[in-house]
Chain A
Amino acid sequence: VQLVETGGGLIQPGGSLRLSCAASGFNVSTNYMTWVRQAPGKGLEWVSIIYRGGDTYYADSVKGRFTISRDNSRNTVYLQMNSLRAEDTAVYHCAREVIVAVGADAFDIWGQGTMVTVSS
């Protein structure tokens, strides 16, 4: 069971990037999948989630600029990032959010992350 993120890199402000998160050992279609980012030397920031039914939610800091999606046939989750800003510079982790008790979830599987650097 693992998650592997790809797609990070150096991008100019205002540019776009698409991150991928390939899952193995479980199906992304039957799980809640999230993106969490970590700016250099900083803490963890929740970014977005896609639920089993396809509903999506975003942090206010990325709403309207980022889009989460999934391809069930590839067992992969994506994060399309547009209008990138310097403050989006971070390691982006995808994580599986599982139901651990009635009404309670936790991030039990994490990828190692992919670095996104927004700079001119």
Chain B
Amino acid sequence: DIQMTQSPSSLSASVGDRVTITCRASQGISSYLNWYQQKPGKAPNLLIYVASRLQSGVPSRFSGSGSGTDFTLTISSLQPEDFAIYYCQQSYTTPRTFGQGTKVEIK
């Protein structure tokens, strides 16, 4: 199985900050990498697919990059509604696997 490792596991940031989360795959997955946002008590929500494509309805302050084994999710200017847990997920092979999550908290 492909292991997905996110860093950091958590971070504290202020409204307006630029935030970057990284995700590393245990083997090359081309660009088959998705990012999800999950708020407490809610289902995950697709933000980015195929590493860098923005899902419809997702604000443009979210962006993704990377290919192969290293990927990043960037929030250009953190908003109050962005405090949540973010997960990466590979769709290169079955079983699909997720990173352990990155919790973005208010500083």
Quick check: is A103 within 8 A (CB to CB) of the other chain?
yes
A107 within 8 A of B: yes
Are the CB atoms of A107 and B36 closer together than 8 Å?
Answer: yes
With A100-B49, A101-B50, A111-B43 already in contact, the answer to whether A59 and B95 are too (CB < 8 A) is yes
A93 to B91, CA, bound (A): 18
**Interface pick from A9-17, A20-28, A43-51, A79-87:** A43-51
Main secondary structure of the interface of B (DSSP, over half): loop
A10 CB to closest chain B CB (Å) equals 19
Interface footprint category on A: 20 to 34
Taking the closest CB of chain A, its distance from the CB of B29, in whole angstroms, is 10
A-B contact count (CB 8 A): 64
Q: Are B42 and A101 in contact (CB under 8 A)?
A: no
Interface centre among B34, B43, B91, B101 (most CB of A within 10 A): B43
Query: Is there contact, CB below 8 Å, between B46 and A43?
Result: no
- Asked if A105 and B44 make an inter-chain contact with CB atoms under 8 angstroms apart, the answer reads no
Partner of A108, one of B32, B46, B101: B46
- A53-64 vs B, CB cutoff 8 Å, 1 = contact: the mask equals 000010110000
B contact residues vs A (CB 8 Å cutoff) = 1, 31-32, 34, 36, 38, 42-46, 49-50, 53, 55, 87, 89, 91, 94-101
